[in-house]
Structure 1
Amino acid sequence: MDVKILVFPETKVAAIEHHGSPALEYDTVRKLIAWKIEHRLLDQSKYRSYGVHYTDPRTTPATLHRVDFCLSFEDKVGPNPYGILNKVIPGRRCAFARDVGSRSNNKAAAYLYETWLPQSGESAGDFPIFFHYVNVGPNVREEEMITDVYLPLK
Structure 2
Amino acid sequence: MAVRDRTGRDYAARIARAMTLVTARADDPPGLEELAATAAFSPFHFHRVYRAIAGETPAETAARARLQGAAIALLKGGETVAVVARRAGYGSQAAFTRAFRAAYGLPPAAYRARGGLGFPMRSDSDKESTMFEVTIRSTTPLHLAAIRHTGPYDRIGEAFGRLQAWAAGRGLMGPGTRAVALYHDDPRSVPAAQLRADAGLTVGPEVPGEGEVTLLDVPGFARVASLVFKGPYAELERAYDWMYRSWLPGSGEEPADAPVMEEYLNDCRMLPPAEWLTEILVPLRE
Distance 1:94 1:74, change over 3 A: same
> What are the Cα deviations for residues 11-69 of structure 1, in whole angstroms up to 9, with x where unaligned?
1111111012335423222210111211223324x110001111233443112111101
Higher relative contact order, chain-length normalized (CA < 8 Å, sep 6+): 1
Distance 1:54 1:136, change over 3 A: same
Counterpart of 2:234 (choices 104, 107, 113) is 104
Tell me the percent identity. 28
Which structure carries more strand by proportion? 1
How far did 1:79 drift? Answer: 4.6
Aligned residue number for residue 131 of structure 1: 262
2:235 alignment partner, SS class:
coil
Distance 1:76 1:62, change over 3 A: farther
Aligned residue number for residue 166 of structure 2: 35
Q: Is the 8 A contact 2:153 2:197 kept in 1?
A: no
Letter in 2 for 1:30: G
Counterpart of 1:53 (choices 176, 179, 183) is 183
User: So what's the TM-score if we normalise by structure 2?
Assistant: 0.50
How far did 1:86 drift? Answer: 0.9
For residues 141 and 229 of structure 2, the distance between their equivalents in structure 1, rounded to whole angstroms, comes to 22
Aligned residue number for residue 219 of structure 2: 90
For residues 59 and 136 of structure 1, the distance between their equivalents in structure 2, rounded to whole angstroms, comes to 30
Which structure carries more helix by proportion? 2
> What are the Cα deviations for residues 99-146 of structure 1, in whole angstroms up to 9, with x where unaligned?
000112214333222211111111010111101100124222111100
Q: Is the 8 A contact 2:150 2:195 kept in 1?
A: yes
Aligned residue number for residue 280 of structure 2: 149
For residues 76 and 115 of structure 1, the distance between their equivalents in structure 2, rounded to whole angstroms, comes to 43
Distance 1:140 1:41, change over 3 A: farther
For residues 154 and 139 of structure 2, the distance between their equivalents in structure 1, rounded to whole angstroms, comes to 29
Letter in 1 for 2:138: V
Q: Is the 8 A contact 1:112 1:151 kept in 2?
A: no
1:105 alignment partner, SS class:
helix
Which structure has the larger Rg over C-alpha atoms? 2
Structure 1: segments with no counterpart, 5+ residues: none
How far did 1:150 drift? Answer: 0.7
Q: Is the 8 A contact 1:131 1:148 kept in 2?
A: yes
Q: CA RMSD in A?
A: 1.7
Letter in 2 for 1:2: E
Aligned residue number for residue 253 of structure 2: 122
Aligned length: 152
User: So what's the TM-score if we normalise by structure 1?
Assistant: 0.89
For residues 117 and 30 of structure 1, the distance between their equivalents in structure 2, rounded to whole angstroms, comes to 33
Higher deviation after alignment, 102-111 or 92-101: 102-111
Q: Is the 8 A contact 1:76 1:86 kept in 2?
A: no
Q: Is the 8 A contact 1:77 1:85 kept in 2?
A: no
Q: Is the 8 A contact 2:268 2:276 kept in 1?
A: no
Higher deviation after alignment, 54-63 or 86-95: 54-63
Letter in 2 for 1:84: V
2:217 alignment partner, SS class:
strand
